[in-house]
Homo-oligomer: A and B are copies of this chain.
Amino acid sequence: MSLCRLVVTCPDRVGIVARVSSFIAEKGGSITEANQHSDLETGRFFMRYEVETRNMSVDSDSFRQAFACIAKEFDMQWQWRDGEQRRRRLMIMVSRESHCLVDLLYRWTAGELDCDIAGVISNHEDMRSVVEWHGIEYHHVPVAADDKTSAFSSVEKIIENSQADTIVLARYMQIIPPALCERYSGQIINIHHSFLPSFAGARPYHQAHTRGVKLIGATCHYVTQELDAGPIIEQDIQRVTHCHTASDLVRLGRDIEKSVLARGVRWHLQDRVLIDGNKTVVFS
């Protein structure tokens, strides 16, 4: 191990930083990046450290064992992620729009996403060729309107078998069933093609066009059982004018969608996104 991450959430109180940073210093670790946040409304404290462990006197297992005492004392949810464990396994789900998928694959190839790709699941065959060209397994799971249950039972098995821990809905146009949302709570990332909470639901660009807004947007958020209402990770917008038709909005929106999703996924993979009720703390 060399560069590790410590991520902590706990009730706020005096002395957390002192205790944690002293512990790391004692063990010979060097903090190279530090982020902290106190939510004054909820009284929760959030912290993320990047730790250079080259000169540390203990290995990850011993570190965790020793840290557990502090964690207990401060009632922490925490994670010490070292180099070996760090790589998450991503399952990408997609329907017929390719832009987010292709963008993620490109960034992954370029080394921008610190993860393995466990596979791609789609309710259509359209993306098979580009996915397989990247050497990634493609799972076609059609979703029949009258038998979604069996489709999602297949989806769940594929995710399980591939040992994926993070699911990215890269313009996947089916609603994820509650049980799956629950099971991968805080691990399913969606890109919604509007500036939420505006234009939730279907055909947001057409809604935006009808309303005559001057900016369109996209929102990357965690999926919860309530549609389009989960914690927001990232948003961005693009200026539009009366000249743009609804289909221009669709085209312009693709660029925002893919960059917003890519940022959200990248930050998630770097443990920079901490969930705080129905909001997020993003140490970007």
Residues of A in contact with B (beta carbons under 8 Å apart): 14-15, 17-19, 21-22, 24-26, 28-34, 36-40, 55, 98-99, 102, 106, 110, 112, 133, 195-199, 211-215, 217, 231-237, 241-243, 245, 251, 254-255, 259, 276, 278-282
B-chain residues with CB within 8 Å of residue A198 when the two chains form the complex: 195-198
Partner of A279 from the list B212, B251, B254 (CB cut-off 8 Å) is: B212
Min C-beta distance of A138 to chain B, whole Å: 16
Alpha-carbon gap, A243 to B274, bound state (A)? 13
User: Can you name 8 A-B residue pairings with CB atoms under 8 Å?
Assistant: A17-B25, A21-B21, A33-B243, A34-B34, A34-B36, A197-B213, A212-B232, A212-B278
Complex: chain B residue closest to A255, CB-CB? B259
A22 vs B20: C-alpha distance when bound (angstroms): 10
Give the complex CA separation of A254 and B59 in angstroms: 37
A101 CB to closest chain B CB, in angstroms? 11
**A37 to B279, Cβ gap below 8 A?**
no
Residues of B within 8 A of A242 (CB): 37, 39, 276, 279-282
Kindly provide the distance from the CB of A94 to the nearest chain B CB, expressed in whole angstroms: 15
Could you say which residues of chain B place their CB within 8 Å of the CB of A102?
106
A237 touches B234 (CB 8 A): no
Cβ contacts under 8 Å, A21 to chain B: 17-18, 21-22
* B14 with A34: CB separation less than 8 A: no
B-side contacts of A197, CB under 8 Å: 198-199, 211, 213
A259 contacts which chain B residues (CB < 8 A)?
255
Shortest C-beta distance, A24 to chain B (Å), equals 7
Q: How far is the CA of A134 from the CA of B66 in the complex (A)?
A: 54
Flag if A25 contacts B15 (CB, 8 Å).
yes
Contact: A212 with B231, CB < 8 Å?
yes
Give the shortest distance, in Å, between A241 (CB) and chain B (any CB). Answer: 7
Chain B residues whose CB sits within 8 angstroms of the CB of A112 once the complex forms: 251
CB distance from A107 to the nearest CB of B (A): 9
User: Across the interface, which residues of B come within 8 angstroms of A18, CB to CB?
Assistant: 18, 21-22, 24-26
Which of chain B's residues has its CB closest to A215's CB? B235
| Nearest CB of B to A209, in Å | 9
In the complex the two chains form, is B232's CB within 8 Å of A214's CB?
yes
Assembled-state Cα–Cα distance A242/B9 (Å): 15
Cα A161 to Cα B196 with chains together (Å) = 44
Task: Name the one of B33, B235, B251 contacting A213, with C-beta atoms under 8 angstroms.
Answer: B235
Looking across the interface, which residue of chain B has its beta carbon closest to that of A40? B245
Write the chain B residue with the least CB distance to A243: B37
Contact of A213 with B231 in the complex, beta carbons under 8 Å: no
- Looking at the assembled complex, report how far the CB atom of A274 sits from the nearest CB atom of chain B, in whole angstroms: 9
Q: Whole-angstrom distance between the alpha carbons of A55 and B14 in the complex?
A: 10
